[in-house]
């Protein structure tokens, strides 16, 4: 039996996520990072460590992929190739810091590079939905373009018979001849296909996907096996030939690298990073990883290459600390859901803005300091949560128990000050006492209050107010989706790693691409930049809205980036008012269509629900939804909702519209919702979506009018399947999300029974 993998080396040098690693024939390592650089690491020659040999800095945006090609007559030392989010591929001689060639055929981010079968050839794939074959002997343009996918191509390989295989965000795998002819389209994965590996000795290749599955395909396109073991997105796969012809490793979003032999997951390596973006294998069998904590790590089974006992202990402590964070909460937020330090590269929106950052040893609070060109995030102090997520115990400070005891650094070199706070206390009183006790200037009062409110907020706690105008289960006039519905990974504010949404630069690229496919509905490309500015609240000129409405005429397969602009624009009051009043019929009819069974593009449905949720932020958007509440609900009842993200977005919308009907004291709307929501909840299988749906039902039952509440109860109980489902959910739980759902299910059961 083989020995377990242990840490061999940790390579520090990048400042942001390591998104790609590649290895050379001499067991050197190349790494590419979001910090816009790539690095060459060479074995140091006297132990298992590596030295940073050279840094390549010509990429203008983050480096998404790196590759090493072996030496040839033209390039005796081989070449190092990088692909970036600036749409450019750069070719370097290994020991020269400046690129020899710059290749610009792609129109969007380059996300993967792999070797071709012939010398000096390689392949690239891109968010522009294409892959390309290159020959460095003729670097002026790509030899062949492989097109036909409807979304980003995340990976591309050339298999031993010469065919080219592509893996796409459209959930399919393309099989092409080397001349670019599409031979076959392989379907089987239910989410984005992220990685590929050729097993030529076995006449097969393997794919990995966001659906957490690994599939084996024959060269003829037959799916012969599927392996399971990962619990989240699988980002990469690499062969480990030292272990045998059917041995490989995979990496994922559940903080692990998994080692597979003959289809069996024989070992799992846990890392102290939320996302393990990339994996490669050295010829000696060692495994190389790149992760969201900006570190390149090497793992080995050879005792002679194990890291020192001290380094192994430190690594184990880091892994355990992150595992503990996954169960901890601070102020109602899961620590593991908080962004890492990469979020500090994004400027603040206003002076004094607070941000909680997850670091290796805990959570740290930062505030945005506005100083012109020198504006920066400044550390405020460590955030110490109060009640433990598992035990419910409080923190004791000066002989008293508190829900929260924040540790606040006010001056370098001095011990941090302690700020105690209990839920329900007046934050202004707590802030005033803190300032007075520590003889700090009263000008900091508002900043300390904001710090307390931000870091002690509990989304499940009620606040004072008129129950007709707030959701009694969340205390807010609008339910804002938690990170499970909106974010992502690596501090990204896009939508569940959807490569097309959230980033205005990416959206602009997709708009330009799709504009060329829009036929008679295309617009002058110069206007697209102005439309994208709506995402950040900017209005270059009022004609932006007219252009936006025209773009909504695009066909279903290309319109979703336009709807995503609507989603982000609605967050700002002026945009919300303009979009929901000027030609409001266009926008509401488009969104109604997208959340109906007639729309077959799941991206459109998902983004449309999120846009509808953002309408609730301001009165004009609320009014428009209220006017169309009946037809919206009619469309939803016939919608197929198997997709987890759509389920969460749908449940969030139902909760928002429930609060709205309570706010307007709309008896008809409430009774309609009492008929619709229980039936929808029955068909939800995602715990978070079920939880939000149950909160909506609980909100419907919150009326203080006994007679009216009884009518709602009877209407809800007419759905026998809901009552049965509720009874099951009130008992079952295996994790934190299901425990939260269980508590809510019991509360709803109690309300129905009263």
Query: Is 371 found in the same domain as 347?
Result: yes
Counted residue by residue, the chain has a size of 754
| CATH code of 416's domain | 3.10.20.870
User: Which CATH number is 633's domain given?
Assistant: 1.25.10.10
Q: Which of 325, 354, 377 is the last residue of a domain?
A: 325
Q: Which two tokens stand for residue 206?
A: 């393997």
Distance from C-alpha of 69 to C-alpha of 75, rounded to nearest angstrom = 9
Residue 430's closest CA among 410, 411, 463, 402? 402
The DSSP annotation for 326-367 comes to: TT-EETTEEGGGS--GGGGGSPPSSTT-EEEEEETTEEEEEE
The 10 Å CB-count burial string (b at 16+, else e) for 270-304 is: bbbbbbbbbbbbbeebbbbbbbbbbbbbbbbbeee
DSSP characters over 400-417: EEESEEEEE--STTSPPE
Assess if residue 42 is contained within a domain. yes
Does residue 477 form part of some domain? Answer: no
Residue 679: which H helix or E strand, with range?
helix 667-682
**384 φ, ψ to 5°?**
-105, 115
Is residue 318 located within the same domain as residue 367?
no
On whether both 300 and 381 belong to a single domain, the answer is no
- Are the C-beta atoms of residues 248 and 260 closer than 8 Å to each other? yes
Residues 670, 657: Cα–Cα separation, whole Å: 9
**Claim to verify: residue 570 and residue 504 sit in the same structural domain:** yes
- The CATH number that applies at residue 19 is 2.130.10.10
Are 516 and 576 in contact by the 8 Å Cβ rule? The answer is: no
CB 281 within 8 A of CB 288: yes
The kind and range of the H/E element at 611 are helix 602-615
Region for 244 from its dihedrals, namely left if φ exceeds 0, alpha if ψ lies in -120 to 50, beta otherwise: left
- Residues 642-681, buried b or exposed e (16+ Cβ, 10 A)? ebbbbbbbbbbbbbbbbbbbbbbebeebbbbbbebbbebb
250 & 179 share domain: yes
Measured torsion, CA atoms of residues 546, 552, 555, 559, in degrees rounded to the nearest 10: 120
Boundary-marking domain end, from 610, 640, 670: 640
pLDDT, block means (10 residues), the chain with 754 residues: 88 93 96 94 90 94 94 92 95 93 93 95 94 92 94 95 95 95 94 94 95 94 93 93 94 92 94 92 97 94 94 91 66 62 74 72 75 78 50 62 74 67 74 77 68 63 35 39 32 31 66 87 84 79 82 90 90 90 87 90 88 91 92 84 85 92 85 90 89 90 76 86 86 74 87 80
Question: Is the separation of the CB atoms in 225 and 264 below 8 Å?
Answer: no
Instruction: Answer yes or no: do 520 and 562 share one domain.
Output: yes
Listed in sequence order, the residues at least 6 apart from 313 whose beta carbon sits closer than 8 Å to its beta carbon are: none
Q: By the 8 A CB rule, do 507 and 529 touch?
A: no
Write down the pLDDT at residue 344.
Answer: 75
Fill in the DSSP letter of residue 25: T
Per-residue tokens: 24: 């050379």
Q: 311-331: string of b/e by CB count within 10 Å (b at 16+)? A: eeebbeebbeebeebeebbbb
Number of domains in the chain: 3
**Strand 110-115 with 121-126, pairing:** antiparallel
Residues 415 and 522 in one domain: no
The CA R_g of the chain, rounded to the nearest whole Å, is: 27
580 belongs to a structural domain: yes
Which of 51, 60, 58 minimizes the C-alpha distance to 12? Answer: 51
What predicted TM-score, i.e. pTM, was given to this entire model? Answer: 0.53
Residues of 123-143 as b/e, b for ≥16 C-beta within 10 angstroms?
bbbbbbbbbbbbbbeeeeebb
The pLDDT of residue 501: 43
Task: Point out the domain boundary residue: 640, 662, 678.
Answer: 640
Q: Tell whether 237 is covered by a domain.
A: yes
Residues 287 and 408 occupy one common structural domain: no
Range of the domain at 262: 6-325
On the CB side of 504, CA atoms within 13 Å amount to 14
Same domain, residue pair 139 and 221: yes
Query: How many Å from the N-terminal Cα to the C-terminal Cα in the chain?
Result: 61
User: Is 465 a member of any domain?
Assistant: no
Q: Is 474 helix (H, G, I), strand (E, B) or coil?
A: coil
CB-based contacts of 471: which residues, under 8 Å, 6+ apart?
477, 479, 655, 658, 659, 662, 695, 699
- The verdict on residue 173 lying in a domain is yes
Classify 588 as helix, strand or coil: helix
Residue 694, in any domain of the structure: no
What is the token pair recorded at 28? 């050197």
Distance CA 54, CA 99 (A): 13
For 382, 423, 430, 465, the CA distances from 418, given in Å and listed in that order, are: 10, 16, 12, 31
> What's the angle, vertex CA 123, arms to CA 193 and CA 179, rounded to 5?
100
221 and 351 inside one domain: no
Query: Is 13 inside a domain boundary?
Result: yes
CB-based contacts of 309, cutoff 8 Å, min separation 6 = none
The arrangement of strands across the sheet holding 362-369 comes to 354-359, 362-369, 376-383
Residues 243 and 101 in one domain: yes
Helix, strand, or coil here: 76?
A: coil
Q: Do strands 63-69 and 50-56 pair parallel, antiparallel, or not at all (unpaired)? A: unpaired
The pairing of beta strand 38-43 with beta strand 50-56: antiparallel
264 and 358 housed in the same domain = no
Are 54 and 92 within 8 A, CB to CB?
Answer: no
Q: Is 645 helix (H, G, I), strand (E, B) or coil?
A: helix
Q: What is the SS3 string spanning 424-441?
A: CCCHHHHHHHHHHHCCCC
pLDDT at 414: 58
């Amino acid at each position: 039996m083989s020995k377990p993998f242990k840490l061999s080396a940790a390579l520090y040098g990048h400042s942001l996520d390591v998104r790609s690693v590649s290895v050379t024939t001499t067991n050197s390592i190349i790494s590419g990072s979001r910090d816009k650089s790539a690095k060459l690491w060479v074995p140091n020659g006297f132990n298992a460590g590596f030295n940073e040999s050279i840094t390549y800095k010509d990429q203008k945006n983050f480096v998404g992929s790196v590759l090493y090609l072996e030496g040839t007559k033209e390039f005796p030392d081989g070449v190092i190739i990088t692909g970036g989010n600036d749409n450019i591929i750069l070719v370097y001689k290994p020991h020269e810091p400046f690129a020899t060639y710059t290749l610009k055929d792609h129109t969007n981010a380059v996300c993967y590079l792999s070797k071709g079968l012939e010398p000096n050839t390689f392949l690239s794939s891109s968010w522009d939905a294409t892959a390309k074959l290159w020959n460095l002997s003729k670097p002026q343009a790509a030899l062949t373009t492989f097109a036909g996918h409807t979304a980003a191509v995340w990976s591309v390989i050339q298999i031993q018979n010469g065919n080219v295989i592509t893996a796409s965000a459209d959930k399919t795998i393309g099989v092409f001849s080397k001349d670019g002819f599409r031979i076959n389209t392989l379907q089987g994965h239910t989410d984005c296909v992220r990685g590929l590996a050729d097993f030529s000795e076995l006449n097969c290749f393997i794919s990995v996907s966001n659906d957490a599955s690994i599939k084996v395909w024959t060269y003829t396109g037959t799916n012969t096996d599927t392996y399971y073991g990962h619990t989240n997105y699988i980002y990469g796969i690499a062969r480990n030939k030292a272990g045998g012809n059917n041995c490989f490793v995979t990496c994922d979003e559940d903080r692990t690298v998994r080692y597979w032999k003959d289809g069996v997951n024989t070992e799992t390596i846990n890392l102290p990073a939320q996302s393990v973006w990339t994996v490669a294998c050295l010829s000696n069998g060692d495994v190389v990883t790149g992760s969201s904590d900006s570190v390149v790590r090497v793992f080995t089974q050879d005792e002679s290459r194990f890291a020192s006992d001290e380094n192994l202990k430190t690594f184990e402590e880091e892994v355990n600390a992150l595992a503990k964070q996954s169960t901890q909460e601070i102020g109602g937020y899961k620590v593991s859901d908080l962004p890492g330090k990469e979020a500090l590269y994004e400027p603040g929106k206003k002076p004094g803005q607070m941000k909680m950052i997850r670091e290796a040893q805990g959570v740290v609070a930062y505030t945005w300091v506005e100083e012109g060109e020198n504006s920066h995030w400044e550390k405020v102090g460590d955030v110490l949560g109060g009640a433990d997520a598992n035990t419910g115990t409080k923190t004791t400070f000066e002989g008293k128990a508190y829900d929260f005891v924040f540790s606040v650094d006010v001056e370098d070199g001095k011990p941090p000050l302690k700020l105690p706070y209990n839920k329900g206390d007046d934050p202004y009183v707590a802030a005033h006492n803190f300032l007075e006790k520590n003889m700090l200037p009263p000008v900091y009062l508002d900043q300390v209050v904001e710090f307390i409110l931000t870091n002690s907020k509990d989304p499940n706690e009620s606040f004072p107010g008129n129950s007709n105008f707030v959701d009694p289960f969340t205390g807010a006039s609008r339910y804002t989706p938690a990170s499970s519905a909106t974010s992502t990974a690596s501090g990204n504010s896009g939508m569940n790693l959807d490569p097309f949404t959230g980033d205005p630069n990416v959206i602009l690229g997709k708009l330009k691409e799709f504009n060329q496919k829009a036929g008679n509905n295309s617009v002058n490309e110069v206007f697209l930049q102005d439309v994208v500015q709506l995402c950040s609240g900017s209005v270059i000129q009022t004609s932006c809205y007219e252009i936006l409405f025209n773009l909504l005429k695009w066909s279903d397969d290309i319109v979703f980036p336009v709807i995503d602009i609507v989603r982000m624009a609605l967050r700002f009051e002026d945009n919300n008012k303009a979009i929901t009043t000027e030609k409001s019929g266009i926008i509401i009819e488009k969104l109604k269509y997208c959340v109906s069974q007639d729309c077959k593009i799941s991206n459109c449905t998902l983004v449309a629900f999120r846009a509808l949720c953002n309408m609730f932020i301001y009165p004009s958007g609320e009014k428009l939804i209220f006017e169309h509440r009946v037809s919206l609900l009619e469309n939803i009842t016939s919608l197929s909702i198997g997709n987890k993200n759509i389920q969460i977005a749908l449940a969030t919308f139902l909760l928002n519209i429930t609060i709205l009907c309570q706010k307007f004291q709309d008896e008809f709307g409430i009774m309609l919702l009492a008929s619709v929501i229980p039936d929808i909840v029955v068909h939800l299988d995602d715990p978070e979506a079920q939880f939000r749906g149950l909160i909506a039902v609980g909100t419907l039952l919150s009326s203080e009018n006994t007679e009216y509440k009884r009518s709602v109860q009877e209407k809800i109980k007419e759905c026998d399947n809901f009552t049965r489902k509720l009874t099951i959910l009130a008992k079952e739980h295996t994790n934190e999300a299901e425990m939260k759902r269980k508590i809510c299910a019991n509360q709803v059961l109690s309300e129905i029974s009263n």
